[in-house]
Structures are given as structure tokens and as C-alpha cells.
Amino acid sequence: MIKNRTDLFVFGEVLFDCFPTGEQVLGGAPFNVAWHLQAFGDHPLCISRVGNDDHGKMILQEMRNWGMNTEAVLVDADHPTGRVEVTINDGEPSYDIIADSAYDFISADTSLATATGGILYHGTLGLRSKTARDSFVEITRNESLRIFLDVNLRAPWWQRDEVFGCLRNATWAKMNEGELRLLAEPATDIRQQMAELQATCELEQVIVTRGGKDTLIRTATGEFHSLLPQKVDHLVDTVGAGDAFSAVYIHGLLAGWSVAETLRRAQRFAGKVISLRGATTSNPLFYEEFISSFNCCD
């Protein structure tokens, strides 16, 4: 648990999710997490890159409108703003992630060199290029930062050894059940897989989301926490549900909530986000109920 927050950083892709209906929604797992954390009052510094194009200008303006710090989102004159073509089949999204986007060329932000503690969030997709990986390595030379890793294994944009390098540097790691199976040694029991991965990578917590089934968390003491999701009345799509979960989980780490309370609130917020088209909304009323309940627990 982090009792005294110093800083909060989010590293990785900022892009537009483009739907078959023509809708274009701000997205990218790190951006979604940063957007929600800003709404919760945590004021993260988002480290990314956008193109010198209409999408890039729109992202920066939306961030300013939301009160986010844009100083570490640089403008790239040579590469376009990231874009993902999203298709929905039976409520489940699939993604065509455009290569050589601006966020593949993130440069290290010097403000992290002097940070004295705090949390650095990142996913695996944002490290698919050598430029971004090198920048991230430079950032993580600051050993006072504790890392929340969001595993997102999107073919063909991941390599097993690189993902394990990220896992070994992380304090907390979140993934879905399919991703756990791709990374862990074969076992009949998911809890055994989690325990072995946690021991191998020396993680404080392993968090495994399982869609309509229970979410599982294994703590440093070997204790498991499990919670079934609540029934959702209105499902639009599941884009960004995991990012919503991560944002609340990080807020809970900053606030010092118990694992059980953090899990309950994170799962509840993820269930609300799937009522949206895409992962984010600029309507502050969407967050009011959750912010009120957070304050009761902080």
C-alpha cells in the first residue's frame, strides 16, 4: 500500500478507437486509465505522443478541457496519431491496431528522473516499438517508482521475453484469463498458475479478470480475493472495461483501500463503463456517484 502519494504517471498509447458505425472515441488503455484517474481527482501525468494532425489536436484539446496536464504529450511531425479499427461481434471487440503511430516514438520524460516515489502505469502494447521501449527503460531507471503493469497481448505486437521483462519490473500486474494462460506454465488450476507467475516475477499482486466470471487477486501473502461481477442492465460494448477496472484499482492503491474494497469498487465501475460506446466519456455526471462513494472510503 502506498500511504503517501508523491506522483502518478501513465505511459503509453493515446489514440482513437474507430467503430464500424463511424463513431470515433478517444482511447488507448493508458489514456483511458489517465482519463478516469483525472476524473477521480488524481491528476496523472500522461506520457505519450500524438501526430501533427486533426486527431492529435483534438486529443490535446480534449485533455485540456478535462483538466489534464498535456506537457508530456508531445507532437510528432512525422507520424500520425494512433488509430484502432474496432469491430464488435456478439458484444466482444476485436482490434486492428495501426502500426508506426506517433505513440510508437515516445521519448523519455525528464520529470520522472527526479520523482521520489509514486506509481507508474503502463501496458505492454505501448512498448511494441524499440523507441518506446528504450524511452521506458530510461524512465524506469528511477527505482523509487512502483509499476502497475496492464498486460494486453495483442497479436502480433508482443514477445514473451519482453513481457516477462515487464513483469519482473512490476509491483502489480493485471491481465485477463486468456493472457495468464499464454504466459503461465500449463496447469489445471488457475490459482496455481497465478501463484507460480507471482513467484517467478516477484510480484506483490497478480490480478486476473475473467469476463463474466469472477475476478481473482493473489496478494503477496498468498491470499486470494474473488468477486463475481454484478449483472449489467445495458451493455453497449466491453471496450475499456479493463482500463476502468485498472483506474479504480490504482486509485484504491493511492487511497490505501483494502484489496477487497478496491476489487469491489473497480469491478462496479468497469460494469458501468460497458454501458458507453467506447472507453471514456466527457460527461462529469457519469463519475459523480463513484466519486462520492470514493470519498466515503478515503
Give the pLDDT score at 117: 81
Give the pLDDT score at 18: 86
* Residue from 135, 126, 170 nearest 149 by CA: 170
Average pLDDT, stretch 136-157?
91
- Digit-coded pLDDT (tens) for 259-281: 999 999 998 888 787 766 655 77
Domain extents in the chain: 8-297
Global confidence as pTM: 0.89
Which superfamily does 8-297 belong to? Ribokinase (3.40.1190.20)
C-alpha cell at 261: 474494497
Map grid coordinates 497478480 to a residue.
Answer: 206
Q: Is 260 helix (H, G, I), strand (E, B) or coil?
A: helix
Mean pLDDT lowest among 61-65, 227-231, 245-249: 227-231
pLDDT at 20 over 50: yes
Query: Which has more pLDDT, 24 or 195?
Result: 195
What percentage of the chain exceeds 70 in pLDDT? 87
Mean pLDDT lowest among 45-49, 111-115, 139-143: 111-115
- Digit-coded pLDDT (tens) for 73-110: 999 999 999 998 888 777 677 778 888 999 999 987 66
First to last CA, the chain: 13
The arrangement of strands across the sheet holding 224-227 comes to 73-76, 45-51, 8-11, 119-123, 146-150, 172-176, 205-209, 215-218, 224-227
C-alpha cell at 232: 449489467
Contact 145, 9 (CB under 8 A): yes
Give the pLDDT score at 295: 66
